[in-house]
């Protein structure tokens, strides 16, 4: 394979098929040959940012939910309301897509079970062996269901998917920055559903400048006392000090994004010395402008039009950014200094990407080496919130696809 665009995922022994069809195919129209060898671990992926466009469109039609614009509802009309385009300039723009499409699913136990099941299939399609899906149960109640009913509906979908597709899916329940009144309940729910796949909590969804971490500290201290694992979105739209606060006040074991740490050597060293895992998401870091200040002037931005049924639409996607400068994106620093980081999609349906896309972007555009990207996979595995015995088993399962069997037998 001479064309860089045809390279397999770094570290895989079998070249997987390109697997980006699943956001647009119907639930019942599966392609059995599109499943990839399970070689990846994904830690930072929002369930509500992963709903299939086709499912959302179908449910909106059934429920007669109008588009915000009131214009005719075709799939092409629908897509711009659930998918960010090339004109997205901030985290606020990015998050602005969520209220509309969450309303299509929220409060509907059948829909929640379905999207959870489809999530597992989509992870299997992309060759994901283990994943931690995160969501806020409160955002999905629609004042019709209780948070418990939301969790139980989603768990039913996950369990069906796990049995059918053999992907190990665990759950992180999200506290929400603008809603500290929910945080203590999230901790208690995480404790209640520990035996049902909930492995930790997150603090997500909000401008770090506008919504301080302080109102959530007591909940995270309670989680620490209960032995519940903790990750925090920090250093994405905020400063490096936001990361320090997450670690020192909320006892964060992992950081969602964390790009701003390259601006403060003391926080950078804190992350490095404590081996705190950074959950990096390349495409969303560009779309939300989280890394905008680091982008060199010579950067080329690739845009392409979204294709539907083989036809080009008016929806422009912002997918790649390349530069002649060798070190500019924060992950260049993380890789150079051997920080503990991995790659994830964040919100794949909103960004219109797959995990394969993220690895190819890192390999081809950002010039990370196959060895560095293989390290990302194993970083994610060892930084997962699984119990230690299960974590060791996950690493061994990954090794089957990364190390020749003749060598592996000595492990």
- Region of 410 on the Ramachandran plot (φ > 0 left; ψ -120 to 50 alpha; else beta): alpha
DSSP class of residue 385 equals: S
Handedness of CA 229, 252, 158, 392 (dihedral sign): negative
In whole angstroms, give the CA distance from residue 368 to residue 322.
12
231: which strand partners? 202, 254
For residue 11, how many C-alpha atoms fall within 13 Å in the half-sphere facing its CB? Answer: 26
d(CA 291, CA 283): 10
**Active-site residue, selected from the candidate residues 113, 118, 132, 236:** 236
Q: Using CA atoms, how far apart are residues 251 and 394, in angstroms rounded to an integer? A: 25
Measured between alpha carbons, how far is 359 from 243 in angstroms, rounded to an integer?
25
Q: Does the annotation mark 236 as catalytic?
A: yes
Among candidates 246, 358, 236, 362, which has minimal Cα distance to 291? 236
308: number of Cβ within 10 Å: 16
Residue with tokens 């039913």: 156
Three-state DSSP state, 142: coil
State the catalytic residues: 236
């Amino acid at each position: 394979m001479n064309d860089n665009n045809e390279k397999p995922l770094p570290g895989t022994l079998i070249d997987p098929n390109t697997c980006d069809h699943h956001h647009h195919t119907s639930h019942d129209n599966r392609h059995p040959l599109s499943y990839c060898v399970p070689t990846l671990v994904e830690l930072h992926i929002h369930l509500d940012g992963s709903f299939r466009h086709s499912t959302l469109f179908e449910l909106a039609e059934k429920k007669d939910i109008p588009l915000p614009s009131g214009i005719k509802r075709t799939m092409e009309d629908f897509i711009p309301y659930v998918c960010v385009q090339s004109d997205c300039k901030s985290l606020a723009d990015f998050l602005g897509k969520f209220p509309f499409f969450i309303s299509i699913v929220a409060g509907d136990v059948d829909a929640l079970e379905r999207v959870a099941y489809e999530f597992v299939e989509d992870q299997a399609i992309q060759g994901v062996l283990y994943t931690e899906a995160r969501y806020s149960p409160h955002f999905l109640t629609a004042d019709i269901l209780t948070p418990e009913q939301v969790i139980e509906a989603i768990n039913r979908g996950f369990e069906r998917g796990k049995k059918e597709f053999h992907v190990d899916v665990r759950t992180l329940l999200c506290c929400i920055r603008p809603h500290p009144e929910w945080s203590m309940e999230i901790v208690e729910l995480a404790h209640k559903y520990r035996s049902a796949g909930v492995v930790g909590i997150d603090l997500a969804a909000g401008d770090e400048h506008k919504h301080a971490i302080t109102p959530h500290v007591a909940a995270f201290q309670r989680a620490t006392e209960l032995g519940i694992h903790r990750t925090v979105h920090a250093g994405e739209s905020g400063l490096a000090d936001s990361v320090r606060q997450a670690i020192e006040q909320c006892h964060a074991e992992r950081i969602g994004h964390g790009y701003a740490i390259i601006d403060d050597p003391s926080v950078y060293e804190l992350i490095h010395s404590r081996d705190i895992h950074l959950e990096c998401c390349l495409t969303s870091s560009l779309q939300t402008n989280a890394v905008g200040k680091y982008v060199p002037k010579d950067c080329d931005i690739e845009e392409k039009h979204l294709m539907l049924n083989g036809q080009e639409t008016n929806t422009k996607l912002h997918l790649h950014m390349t530069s002649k400068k060798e070190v500019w994106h924060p992950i260049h620093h993380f890789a150079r200094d051997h920080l503990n980081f991995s790659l994830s999609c964040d919100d794949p349906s909103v960004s219109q990407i797959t995990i394969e896309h993220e690895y190819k972007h890192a390999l081809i555009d950002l010039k990370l080496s196959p060895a560095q990207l293989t390290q990302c996979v194993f970083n994610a595995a060892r930084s997962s919130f699984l119990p230690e015995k299960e974590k060791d088993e996950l690493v061994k399962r990954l090794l089957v696809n990364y190390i020749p069997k003749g060598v592996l037998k000595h492990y």
